[in-house]
Structure 1
């Protein structure tokens, strides 16, 4: 090997060592964003996930904890890598937050268990911090607490504007984010297993359909979350309804949110969309619902790419077995339609980051069934559709990882070659 060849070889080896060390240095495990894509440890990340809102509820009962483990095992076995669940239960049975700022330690330890089990099965978590609805307390419970403290409030929507209520919510955010897990010893804000925080499950303010109330609340609360935790991603929990700019895309109602304006808030890292044409277009036929779904998906993908310029996660979707004329084929076809659009966008480098169906149960949980439930071991045809999507998105992840690795390697090699030429000229 000649001198020039030896120098080239040494430069290449140095380049590779430097590249690997950079990859290792970047490997803190927290998910980040760049443009319209998720990254982890410097590599692209696409997600196929599920909703299991009940994890905290069952984890708080030692005799039922095995179901939490079971659902993570089944999910992992089908390639699922993200779960969305509640980090709240306000003033209800087995409440996490018994009253403003007062927590049941045993229930908090149940949430610790959820985090630990997810970590053991390589599944990340989106933790939602409050509920729009009365289930598990919701904004109504916060308003009632404030009324009991002497506040004169006329509507549940005062949740978004009353200083006392907002103070209660901010305190809850801080309590969860700074919680130190009794099993892992890691504070939640320092735990890479947590993928993102969600401000609220499906925030709605129908007393102000202009969207200004929700916009101001998201801006304030997003800044609050980021002031405590700079490690994790944040999303608002929005369903994807548009404001006046594109209200023709919505079903025939408004909820006081605006997909574009809300998600352009700087402290939100990615957008979310929920998809329930069987609820929103009740009475319509299957073809009408699927046509709406395809338009709904493509409008949000286009706007995430061109206007919001952030990743979009289809964070809830499903087909109910209680729908008239339901068949498992219809559900599978619905899932196929969702997954087809998600994959097509992801494979061409678009804004789609993945999807999460509602909802995944473990065997023997019939009391939690709402028509949308899927038990992977008991619904093999749907489970096969889900596993196939996991495989496809995994292939997309590997494809883009190779592309990014090659680009990074070329940049590092070019940098090293430039330095070598400078050193040679000085010599």
Structure 2
């Protein structure tokens, strides 16, 4: 970033802060704010390289060993400049024989909440606060691995949810099933009850109300919202809008975002993405980037397709950066990943392409480019910490350690383990540069 841009940016930021102080309530200390296309923290620019740590709130529920692992991993992350973690608030529903679902739900049955799971989230937030780290917390999920929207449909009489890896599953059947959520009033009421429950909580350890806790940077309505079918788009947008208004009516202190992947979630209809993030209750834009899942390279031919992956990634970021600039809000690249070289899942496999990919993405926040002026943060997918896949076992089983890959994904596929030294070298470099 050149000196002229720094100077002008600082002047603009100062004017924005002065206007905020004059026109609104004083900003509570320790809370992240959106000021134009960047974040601020206590009056200073706040930019970050963060991680996804979806299971972070579950570790403390596993007794002394889980708490010890959590403390070690948070210290490790902080040492590497990773102080922003994207975490699941809680899972919904019991497994009912589906082995790939999170087996420690916050909401075992509709409207019934497990205090032990919330105590685990309390513990995580208390530990983050001690380390001056921040959490981005998403309420629910489009996908089945944590219950999500499909669970609310099941609870309200919509039978026959197609589940991945089960007989009869297809993507088209799953889309059609989930799209029903946006016209299911009891389902939406149940999510609203869940959100109110969480936002009304007082941390059992710090005695801070969640709405007053600066360890929380932001809330997210849902992980990867999608209308699923074009015909469901109006109802989908209406639900997102009313849910955003609900969150902000209870908690005006924290930032709020959507959790969106970008326009790929709406069949490349950028107008839908723009309307979602133009909502005045939505403070910043998000995108996710999944070259493997989106078919940007074939099978295990990551190296062969890598130049095209980089080109498509750059174009995808730039397209959404233009939307962020248009709306005058920050952009966070909050999920991205690439398999280990050769798409083997063992930690012994190298990560040369992943490292190069992360470096290219992080590098887009440098300099004085349209993208660099709106990118305010990154959360790579995902921190696997000290966990390791069970040798000879592909998918998660009860009793296995949690890692970055949810149960329905190959364990080790996208996890960044604490021993991945070459990846941490890239993260170290850019976490300092971006800050």
TM-score (norm 2): 0.77
Mapped partners of 1:345, 1:59: distance in 2: 42
Are positions 1:64 and 2:66 aligned together? yes
Mapped partners of 1:160, 1:190: distance in 2: 31
Are positions 1:299 and 2:319 aligned together? yes
Match of 2:121 among 111, 116, 123: 111
Find the residue that maps to 2:92 and give its secondary structure: coil
Are positions 1:358 and 2:360 aligned together? no
Greater share of residues in helix:
1
The one-character-per-residue Cα deviations of 1:170-210 (angstroms, maximum 9, x if unpaired) are 01001111111000001111101100000000012222367
Corresponding residue for residue 5 of structure 1: none
Report deviation, 1:148: 7.9
Alpha-carbon RMSD across the aligned residues, in angstroms, is 2.5
Preserved contact between residue 243 and residue 257 of structure 1 (Cα < 8 Å): no
Are positions 1:382 and 2:423 aligned together? yes
Q: Note the residue ranges of structure 1 that are not aligned, 5 or more in a row.
A: 1-18, 395-427
Preserved contact between residue 220 and residue 258 of structure 2 (Cα < 8 Å): yes
Alignment of 1:43-54 (within 5 A): 43-54=44-55
Corresponding residue for residue 262 of structure 1: 276
Find the residue that maps to 1:197 and give its secondary structure: strand
Preserved contact between residue 321 and residue 370 of structure 2 (Cα < 8 Å): no
The verdict on how the C-alpha distance between 1:320 and 1:272 changes in structure 2, with shifts beyond 3 A counting, is same
The verdict on how the C-alpha distance between 1:276 and 1:390 changes in structure 2, with shifts beyond 3 A counting, is same
Find the residue that maps to 1:100 and give its secondary structure: coil
The verdict on how the C-alpha distance between 1:26 and 1:103 changes in structure 2, with shifts beyond 3 A counting, is closer
Are positions 1:312 and 2:313 aligned together? no
Give the length in aligned residue pairs: 358
Mapped partners of 1:372, 1:240: distance in 2: 20
Are positions 1:273 and 2:315 aligned together? no
Mapped partners of 1:229, 1:70: distance in 2: 31
Report deviation, 1:370: 3.8
Report deviation, 1:104: 1.0
Deviates more, 1:328-337 or 1:366-375: 366-375
Report deviation, 1:155: 2.8
Report deviation, 1:276: 1.1
Preserved contact between residue 87 and residue 138 of structure 2 (Cα < 8 Å): yes
TM-score (norm 1): 0.78
Report deviation, 1:98: 1.9
Deviates more, 1:341-350 or 1:179-188: 341-350
Match of 1:333 among 352, 356, 364: 356
Preserved contact between residue 321 and residue 371 of structure 2 (Cα < 8 Å): no
Mapped partners of 1:230, 1:372: distance in 2: 35
Corresponding residue for residue 213 of structure 1: 235
Q: Which runs of 4+ in 1 moved over 4 A?
A: 322-327, 345-349
The verdict on how the C-alpha distance between 1:156 and 1:26 changes in structure 2, with shifts beyond 3 A counting, is closer
Preserved contact between residue 272 and residue 315 of structure 1 (Cα < 8 Å): yes
Mapped partners of 1:65, 1:220: distance in 2: 37
The one-character-per-residue Cα deviations of 1:50-87 (angstroms, maximum 9, x if unpaired) are 00111123222113222222221111000112000100
